[in-house]
Amino acid sequence: MNKILPLVFIIASNLFVSGVTSKNITIENKCDYTVWPGISNSFNDFDTIGHALEKGDSRVILAPWSWSGKIWGRTLCSTNSTGKFSCATGDCGSGKIECAVLDKSPRDTTLAEFLMNKANVDLYRVNVVYGFNLPLLVVPQRSPNDKVCSRVGCDVVNLNQACPYELMVVDAEERPIACTNPCEVPDCMPSSYSESFKVPCPEATFDFSDDNYVACAGSTDYVITFCPSFTPVPTR
């Protein structure tokens, strides 16, 4: 028995180091409409990632200990007669309810981005450089060392209503449903376009680089909320 115990400890340690341990990410929908979470799944990190969240629903996903990726909300999604799944905003181009490897981030979309467990530090942010489609808030939960880390979000205002006309995405009835990437009109230099994103969302990031993340030391779980406050219903 004395010879077995050290081996058990070694195996357990290796499992911990190899990233088997996971973190809980709770995704909740407080929008007044259905949202389909999009999750970048470059290495099949998640067993089940295709689902819809009705108003008031939430779901817990298990993220690998050292996972890095993006989570966002897709809206006005449907399946056509040939079985192809698509969304009016936040579409990931897979043609299915699950998102596959992303060549690039979806435009017109509010993104929660994570770089987890970098030297036992999580890096995270809400990024609006790709655009905006719904208010989003990321709240770290209390970590084991009893430290409370900073929340980040673009959740105070619905930017779709205030979006410049040149950037506005509308539905069939000309109602604004998203705001596209201002870096495409005309570039990423400071401008009235970029200011329309940055000023209303001081907690969010407007950056293509890997800078400007918020750091949280130690292990923690996260809650991602779509529409923390009431947002008007987008309908077809």
pLDDT of the residue at 12: 36
Who wins on pLDDT, 145 or 32? 32
What is the reported pLDDT for 20? 46
Q: Give the pTM.
A: 0.82
pLDDT digits 0-9 by tens, 174-198: 899 998 876 765 556 666 777 777 7
- Asked if residue 166 has pLDDT above 90, the reply is no
Q: How confident is the model at residue 236, as a pLDDT?
A: 47
Q: What number is the average pLDDT over the span 202-223?
A: 85
The pLDDT value recorded for residue 11 is 31
Task: Give per-residue pLDDT as tens, 18-52.
Answer: 344 788 999 999 999 999 998 886 555 565 566 89
The rounded percent of the chain whose pLDDT value lies above 90 is 35
pLDDT at 32: 92
Given a cut of 60, whether residue 143 has pLDDT beyond it is yes
Q: What is the mean pLDDT of residues 77-104?
A: 84
Question: How large a percentage of the chain has pLDDT more than 70?
Answer: 76
Q: Mean pLDDT of all residues in the chain?
A: 79
Pick the CATH number of 22-226 from 2.60.110.10, 2.60.40.3880, 3.90.1330.10, 2.60.40.10: 2.60.110.10
Instruction: Give the whole-angstrom CA distance, residue 10 versus residue 16.
Output: 10
- Provide mean pLDDT across the span 86-99: 88
For residue 13, what pLDDT is reported? 37
